[in-house]
Amino acid sequence: MSDAAKQSGSASQRIALFGGGGFIGAHLTRALTGRDGFAVHVLDVDQRKLDRLVRREAYTYTPCDVQCDHACMERAVEQADVVVNLVAYANPEIYLTHPLKVVQLNLFDNLRIVEACARHGRRLMHFSTSEVYGKANGSGAAFKEDQSDCVVGPIRNQRWIYSSAKQLLDRLVFAHGQEHDLPFTIVRPFNFIGPLIDYLPSADDAKPRVFSQFMAAMLNGRDMLLVDGGHARRCYTCIDDAIEALLLLLDRPDAAQGEIFNIGNPDAELSVVELAHRMRDLFTELTGNEPAGAIREVCGKKHYGQGYEDCDRRIPDISKIRALGWQPRHNLEQTLRATVQYHLQHRDELADVPAALNHVHC
């Protein structure tokens, strides 16, 4: 427990949640504030997603941009018992249009948080990404945290700058654990989806991740665009299941210390083209109307820009976290239905969610 908590006589574990205003952070804040024993301090640049899930009086909020508010970040780490870091640019378009900003935030600015945790001896839950594994190269083998090679594409394909920056930060977290006794856990999310994922773009906005692109296209009568035919396959994970996994890791510091954990649902794999058709079917069923737009193929380099490349398949091996007692409870049908339904019911409320380049969290 931190010195600040000891002096106040509080028995609550104080959690500093950087990037807590984003998709994962808002859901995690709701879960933590609904339990006894946690005092949640959210640090971010926007509260609007939080406002849809959590009462403001249930947590402490500090406006903080880790890119420039270094003193604020340092104080928050010092006063915490556990630091959860969700800050990142996580949008494929940005990797190509602003690669240096991606590296600055995802590596260098986040490294300051890691170093602050090492200085103050604070436990760190660090959010990595499944993209650190890189290419599957046609293999159907599941990615294993401690065994799989991390293979990315050529330097000219800037799509991989996100993966490379996140992988290097993983290695630096591990190194701080080895050299400075930093207590840490690294989490690798595999395509979490659910209410409030990303934002719903207008035709001229930046391009969010695939679910939100497809949802916005259906809501606005536009075509659903299949990048390079939509052949890439992903395992989609219900955000509620993901939050249960995170709570388990927070509750089990003994088992989570110094470890990397995949969080995903290997039984919920779908190609992007299959996702498009399933979302259209759900839209038609839930609204009584077929989407006005069509499903249309587009070249990845035309859609995102030169330097685009993607991994053909990402399947998580979840043996490590299963051994702690976690198991996904929601199947793909349940997850997609709930997420599509939420966005249909709340489309007007979601229009004010800011574009990804101005929002730095997962």
Give the active site residues. Answer: 162
One-character DSSP codes across 105-156: IIIIIHHHHHHHHHHHT-EEEEE--GGGGB--TT--PPB-TTT---B---TT
Q: How far is CA 36 from the centre of its chain?
A: 25
CB 229 within 8 A of CB 295: no
CB 29 within 8 A of CB 40: yes
Identity at 317, one-letter amino acid code: D
One-character DSSP codes across 320-343: HHHTTT------HHHHHHHHHHHH
Identity at 244, one-letter amino acid code: E
Distance CA(110)–CA(126), nearest Å, equals 10
Distance CA(166)–CA(180), nearest Å, equals 20
CB 129 within 8 A of CB 143: no
Tokens describing residue 115: 């170093």
